[in-house]
Structure 1
């Protein structure tokens, strides 16, 4: 995969061979898979109404992990993958991750864009041939991001009645990755169900694991405890 020069240099040096796409946890040895809203359900019991307690818990957990991983002085790449048809005429709504959630207009002028191959192998071959990935990347700091709103938008993406939400140019929601260049850690919140955190080595995320062990997906806990002992 190709990336913009600065992002590419960082990835090749710190995470060689890693592709910025979902399932980071399966590509890299040093990682944690967190599960949001354990014991709660998206809908109220005996009702089709959304459960506010569930979503408030999800927002709290996602924001807590973000704040634990990123400090005000850390350099961050906000990377967004948009999956769409190669034929531009078939695209619809524009991506608004950066215009809505990056505060500083001057910083937004440094947004990089690159077209990459489609990243998912489970699609029909003919369909995959017509698809590609547009990857956007922006280097900034925590205070430049409206991260509370962006995190909520990511978590809300499967629920049309909730706001804010991510816009999706081709029906597939974009994936947003937060890369901490200072600490060599990547956070990927995939939706309301949870997130992946990977690091250049286990030591970078040991404190995170200890503090939020109750949120770690059960099947990953034994493996991580044996690795981190």
Structure 2
């Protein structure tokens, strides 16, 4: 099985790009970081915010995923078609895999650049995917790297100059997809509402009021 076949079967018409929550009826958008701003008054990074973001993403992940669950670890890398020719899968995967032999099983497919840009035809998206177990990856480090997108914090994903890579956790055991887009929030979608209903009820305080009506309709509440 590859990621394209899985999505066609379980999440028909879904494109694995940012804003999966808006593409699928059954989903939750969580806001991260509470009311803590990214910077202090002296313009230093407010690490208290990032510690909270890490804790929130770890908590949500552990509620949905178990160590023996099968998943596709999917990474979208955005690059210039001609100026950036080298494939940089190692900088995206190598630091976060416990067993480096998995690197040989990574699949890649190239797609058009998915975002609006005047010269978008000059760019492309390379989508890497690895079928593995949750226990095969350094989950906490991956979630931190996703959250650190816009800030000089480590760990970071290695990518190209145009955009920061996007990483999706596609749980094929439970049919749940989890995406942390940066320190501001994350998205969860599921094939069946019962898979994530308790998550919404338990962490309702992390959901903006403006999103609750749409979420609750999708969850059948």
TM-score (norm 1): 0.91
Instruction: Determine the C-alpha separation between the residues in 2 that align with 1:91 and 1:158.
Output: 24
Correspondent of 1:191 among 182, 185, 202: 182
* Displaced runs of 4 or more, over 2 A: 89-95, 222-228
Structure 2, unpaired ranges of 5+: none
Pairs aligned (count)? 219
Instruction: Determine the C-alpha separation between the residues in 2 that align with 1:90 and 1:28.
Output: 33
Corresponding position of 1:29: 25
After TM superposition, list the pairs within 5 Å mapping 1:55-204 onto structure 2.
55-87=50-82, 89-91=83-85, 94-95=88-89, 96-120=91-115, 122-124=116-118, 127-160=119-152, 162-204=153-195
TM-score (norm 2): 0.94
SS of alignment partner, residue 29 of structure 1:
coil
| 1:23-72 deviation digits (Å, cap 9, x = unpaired) | 1011110010000012111112x220111211100000011111111101
- Please say if residues 93 and 169 of structure 1, whose CA atoms lie closer than 8 Å, have aligned partners that are also in contact: no
Task: Let me know the Cα RMSD of the aligned residues.
Answer: 1.5
| 1:135-189 deviation digits (Å, cap 9, x = unpaired) | 00001111111111111111112112x1111122233101000000011010010
Instruction: Determine the C-alpha separation between the residues in 2 that align with 1:171 and 1:30.
Output: 31
| 1:72-103 deviation digits (Å, cap 9, x = unpaired) | 1210100000111111x435793412111011
Corresponding position of 2:34: 38
Report the Cα offset of residue 118 of structure 1.
Answer: 1.3
Report the Cα offset of residue 201 of structure 1.
Answer: 2.2
